Amino acid sequence: MNTYMSKPRDVVTFTVSISPLTPLCASKFSENFPSVEIVKFPFKIGRDGFGDRGFDPSTIKNDLSIPDGEPFQVSRKHCIIEREGECFYVRDTGSSLGTIVNGTPIGVKHASLSEVLVFGKNNIILGTARSPFKFQIEIA
């Protein structure tokens, strides 16, 4: 008789969603979406393929495509939401204006390229503080 029995590990599940933080941001999307549940990581965010200079097929790989026009606040491949175990974070992927996560600017012109997301509600701004692209990421 085998006396060794392994105890099953508790499976921790998280719900991660992103939603526009302001009515102006929501109005920029054709669907006026209330929120999107993020089920795949990394979750890529960037400017959509239909800009003032025509269609750019390299942007169709974004999970959330932002309809931005000149003067641009959002880069084609702006940032990603990543998960490592039970930790979630936003990583700026080289956008020219950066990303603001819970008041902390990240990006190539700042001290860090990434910022940890806290459980509960997080605010992100794509581009400068004046950008209309303000979102809330909720981790529950």
Bond into 8 cis (ω within 30) = no
Q: Which residues pair with 19 in a beta bridge?
A: 136
What is the per-residue burial (b if ≥16 Cβ within 10 Å, else e) of 34-67?
eebebeeeebbbbbbbebeeeeeeebeebbbbbe
Say what the pLDDT of residue 69 is. 87
Are 117 and 101 in contact by the 8 Å Cβ rule? The answer is yes
Question: Which secondary-structure segment (H or E) carries 24?
Answer: helix 23-27
Look at residue 59 and give its three-state secondary structure: helix
Highest mean pLDDT out of 5-14, 18-27, 55-64, 115-124? 115-124
In tens, the pLDDT along 69-99 reads 889 999 999 999 999 999 999 999 999 999 9
Do 120 and 138 form a contact (C-beta atoms < 8 A)? Answer: yes
* Overall pTM surpassing 0.85 (yes/no): no
Place of tokens 């060794």: 4
